[in-house]
Amino acid sequence: MKKEKKFDFKSTDEKKQYVKIPIDILHQSDSLMLDLEQPSAENEIIMGRNSRCVFVPTKTSCLTPHGRKEKKVFKGKVDFVKFRCSIYEKKLLKIKATKCRLSVSEFIRRSLFEKEIIERFTQEHIELYKMLLKYHNNFKSIGNMYRKRNPNLAKEVYDLANEIKIHLKKFQ
């Protein structure tokens, strides 16, 4: 158990009270416990004043309370690279990056390292895809309807449905 040392303080003003603590004691430990005592003659509580001593940890593992994840330290992408391009090229890079829903730097990184860049569908593309899918299904149904009565017509309708299916695969 640690040896407790008591320090006296003097105060002329009731609102401002100071405690002087030697530096060697501050260097010995990370925390310091203050035990403020009130003389028996006084009736007011001293604890209402700034009497809290807060422990400040020195290790990063002590910073997070129990159960909370530690803060991750960012270790990548610290170097900065510049290159020159025309205004047209810059606008084209921005447009292509926004179509893929990527930042310009991420778009350039992926294209440089030949990674797959997927262009996201706009609302118009999605509507066209749904419409082609509906046409494909309808032509298949029509072909099934005429399969027994008129095989030549059914074959033509199936060919048309297969062409639509090829265009749907190009969409993806």
Q: Could you report the per-residue pLDDT of 115-170, keeping only the tens digit for each?
A: 888 877 788 888 988 999 999 999 999 899 888 888 898 899 999 999 999 988 88
Q: How far is the C-alpha of 111 from the C-alpha of 89, rounded, in Å?
A: 15
Q: Are 141 and 134 in contact (CB under 8 A)?
A: no
Amino acid at site 132: L
Would you state the pLDDT for residue 169? 86
Q: What is the pLDDT of residues 34-85, one digit of tens each?
A: 666 655 555 444 444 545 555 555 555 555 556 666 777 777 777 888 889 9
What lies within 8 Å, CB to CB, of 96 at 6+ separation is 107, 119
Kindly state the helix (H) or strand (E) to which residue 140 belongs, with its residue range.
helix 123-145
Burial pattern 83-95, b for ≥16 Cβ within 10 A else e, equals eeeeeeeeeebee
Domain assignment present for 36 = no
The structural domain count of the chain equals: 1
Q: Within a domain: residue 158?
A: yes
**Domain range for 158:** 123-171
State the burial class of residue 100 (Cβ atoms within 10 Å of its Cβ: 0-12, 13-18, 19+): middle
Residue 141: inside a domain, yes or no?
yes
89 within domain boundaries: no
**139 phi, psi to nearest 5 deg:** -65, -35
Do the domain assignments include residue 47? no
Given this model, what pLDDT does residue 47 score? 46
Which pLDDT belongs to residue 81? 86
